[in-house]
Amino acid sequence: MTYTETDIPGVWIIEPKVFSDARGYFMEAFKQNEFEACIGKFDFVQDNESCSTKGVLRGLHYQLAPYSQSKLVRVIKGRVLDVAVDVRAGSPTFGKYIAVELSGENKRQLFIPQGFAHGFHVLSEEAVFTYKVDNPYAPSHERGIRFDDPAIHVDWGIKDLSLINLSEKDKNAPCLSDAELNFTFKKI
């Protein structure tokens, strides 16, 4: 696998080696020793999967500490624009984001450490999205930030806002300036 750190330190794009022939393909989606050598040790405790239709936008979500989650995300089928926003107080990249297209074809993965809000927008007719997390889901600690917060200004590539499919929770999420946060940047 190829590991490439993004412009926001700690956020990584991972590209597996894919072996294809007339039968299909094979790839290693996760290899613990290699992951730890490049990124560090994380104890993933839960795998999640969602299926969404075109126009669905999920996010921007995070969980407060002590239930904050590092995530290793990928798309098995379809295409999404995946976004991670730095919400760590004191971070030199606070409020900045990384956007990466993940798809069943490019097989890219994105590693997002704790202290980031995360979301994705479905670009294909359907997308199957999967992710590993290092803390279980804790509904009492779940929070969100508006996908269209003007202070963050994520370029989702959306031409017609009426075509977005948002949950009520995401429609009513606060802007970053009003969001409840308890993450602190730790220089490594």
Q: CA 24: distance to chain centroid?
A: 27
DSSP string, 64-122: -TTS---EEEEEEESEEEEEEEE--BT-TTTT-EEEEEEETTT--EEEE-SSEEEEEEE
Residue corresponding to tokens 């590991």: 3
Q: Which of 67, 131, 141, 153 is catalytic?
A: 131
Q: How many residues in the chain?
A: 188
Which has the closest alpha carbon to 57: 138, 136, 173, 137? 173
Task: Give the Cα separation of 185 and 188 in Å (integer).
Answer: 9
For residues 53-76, one letter each, b for 16 or more C-beta atoms within 10 angstroms of the residue's C-beta and e for the rest, the string is eebbbbbbbbbeeebbbbbbbbbe
Active-site annotation holds for 67: no
Active-site annotation holds for 118: no
Q: Which of 61, 62, 97, 121 is catalytic?
A: 61
Which has the closest alpha carbon to 81: 144, 158, 12, 29? 158
Give the active site residues.
61, 131
